[in-house]
Amino acid sequence: PKGLGDGPMAKATAPPASRLSSPEVRSKSDQELLKIIADGKDATMPAWRGLLSDQELLDVLAYVRKLGS
């Protein structure tokens, strides 16, 4: 995975998934991204709060940041 928003589920999502390596995503603060990961966004990004621990949410954030590097 490279965070390009073109994975196996890409065609099934509307609106399309964000390119996690894009300048738009990379310019967001850790706090902004963590809120999206935890609370979801639109119909394409489910909320993970309550399903993942606080540490796991931070691990996802670190993974997203690594995709953009």
Task: Pick the more confident residue, 8 or 62.
Answer: 62
Residue 25 CB partners (closer than 8 Å, separation 6+): 18, 19, 33, 64, 68
Residue 45 bridge partners (DSSP): 41
Residues 53, 15: Cα–Cα separation, whole Å = 27
pLDDT tens-digit profile of 1-43? 566 666 776 667 677 677 788 888 899 999 999 999 999 987 7
Q: Report residue 54: phi and psi, to 5°.
A: -60, -40
Structure tokens at 25: 């995503």
pLDDT of 65 higher than 80: yes
Q: Are 68 and 26 in contact (CB under 8 A)?
A: yes
Structure tokens at 39: 């609370």
What pLDDT shows up at residue 7? Answer: 72
